[in-house]
Structures are given as structure tokens and as C-alpha cells.
């Protein structure tokens, strides 16, 4: 495991703040995933070791929490909110347009590895629906008629 020194530093600062080491398991999953892009078996073992836990204690988190991944995403990670308020604003049609633009079905990574397109659930910004996240950034009011242009911007690296 080759974690960046910043990540190690963050981990060393974080663990002693919690009343029990196990509480640091989920935060460590986040930190290691941010560092590595996903959580490999090796990463899970590393976290378990660091906290004196068993690898299964980490695996059971990774298989429970949807944001934890065991595979890397494409270069752009595009998440389209699909729950009712966004759906009422056209989120499913937005997603269709994105599927076409990226040539990638929702729930998959495009063949060239450039995009992972996923549905997600309410991102708590339903007043500006439809909501789409690209990486860690949120974009709002991505109605179906704006979707193709939005996809182009992602492809061009403007987003």
C-alpha cells in the first residue's frame, strides 16, 4: 500500500480523536478510498491492521455503504439523482441524454474508461432539480434540454 503522506497524516490525527478505534473504520475507508480511488482487498486489510480489527470488519462496511467502492471509477464519475423530486423535473430524460452522449449505460463505465455513469438517490437539493454530481462537485438544474451541452463540457474537461 502506497498511501500519500498527507493521507497517513490525516489518519494518524483522526484515529485518536474517537473514543473507540472501531469508530475510525468508516472515516479510514473514506480516506483510503480518496487516496487510492477505490478499496482493494489490500486496502481493506491495511485498514483492518491499522485499527487492530479483522478484514471482515472492513469488508462488511464496504458491502453495506453504497459510496464505498471495490473498483475504480472512470475518469469522470457522473452521478444522476433519480428520486421523485428530480424525476418530476426530468432526471430520467437527463440521464438518457447523458447515456447517449457518453455512449455508456447508466450503472456502467464507458469502454474507454472516461466516464462512470450512475443513478443516485436524493442529494438534498431538490429545489434545484435535476441534480447531477461530477466527482465531488454538484451541478443543479440539469434539465433534459441542457443535458447534451453539459455532457460536452464534461468531455472537453471544462467540468
Partner 1 sequence: MAIQEQRLIFKHIDEPGYTNDIDCYIKHGGYEQLKKAVTMKPEDICAEVLESGVRGRGGAGFPAGMKWKFLDRKSGKPIYLVCNCDESEPGTFKDREIVHQDPHQLIEGMMCSAFAIQAKLAFIYIRGEFFQGYKILERAIEEAREKNLLGDNILGSGYSCDIIVHRGAGAYICGEETGLIESIEGNRANPRIKPPYFPAALGLYQCPTIVNNVETLCDVKHIIELGGKGFAQIGTPGNTGTRIWCVSGHVEKPGYYEFPCSAVTLGQLIYDVCGGLKPGRKLKAVIPGGSSAKILRADERFTGKLKDGTEFDWGIEDIPMDFDSLMAVGSMSGSGGVIVMDDSTDMVEALANINYFYAHESCGQCTPCREGVPWMRKVTQRMVDGEAREEDADLLKNIADQIAGRTICAFGEAASWPVQSFIAKFKDEFVQKAREQAARRKEGKAAATKTTLI
Write out the residues near ligand FES by the rule CB under 6 A. 81, 83, 85-86, 122-126, 129, 131
> Which 25-64 residues touch partner 1, going by CB under 8 A?
25-27, 29-30, 57, 60-61, 64
Dihedral sign computed on CA atoms, order 143, 149, 155, 159: negative
> Which of partner 1, ligand FES, none is residue 24 near (CB under 5 to 8 Å by kind)?
partner 1
6-31: b (≥16 Cβ within 10 Å) or e: ebeebbeeebeeeeeeeebbbebbeb
By the 8 A CB rule, do 89 and 115 touch? no
> Which of partner 1, ligand FES, none is residue 133 near (CB under 5 to 8 Å by kind)?
partner 1
Site residues (CB under 8 A) for partner 1?
Answer: 17-20, 22-27, 29-30, 57, 60-61, 64-68, 82-85, 87-90, 92-93, 120-129, 133, 136-138
Amino acid at each position: 500500500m502506497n498511501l500519500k503522506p498527507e493521507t497517513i497524516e490525516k489518519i494518524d490525527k483522526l484515529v485518536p480523536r474517537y473514543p473507540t478505534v472501531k469508530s475510525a473504520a468508516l472515516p479510514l475507508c473514506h480516506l483510503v478510498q480518496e487516496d487510492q480511488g477505490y478499496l482493494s482487498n489490500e486496502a481493506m486489510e491495511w485498514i483492518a491492521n491499522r485499527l487492530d480489527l479483522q478484514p471482515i470488519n472492513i469488508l462488511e462496511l464496504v458491502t453495506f455503504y453504497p459510496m464505498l467502492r471495490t473498483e475504480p471509477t472512470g475518469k469522470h464519475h457522473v452521478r444522476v439523482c433519480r428520486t421523485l423530486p428530480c424525476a418530476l423535473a426530468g432526471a430520467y430524460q437527463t440521464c438518457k441524454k447523458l447515456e447517449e452522449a457518453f455512449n455508456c449505460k447508466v450503472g456502467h463505465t464507458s469502454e474507454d474508461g472516461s466516464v462512470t455513469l450512475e443513478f443516485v438517490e436524493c442529494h438534498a437539493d431538490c429545489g434545484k432539480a435535476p441534480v447531477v454530481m461530477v466527482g465531488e462537485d454538484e451541478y443543479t438544474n440539469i434539465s433534459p434540454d441542457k443535458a447534451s451541452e453539459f455532457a460536452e463540457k464534461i468531455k472537453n474537461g471544462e467540468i
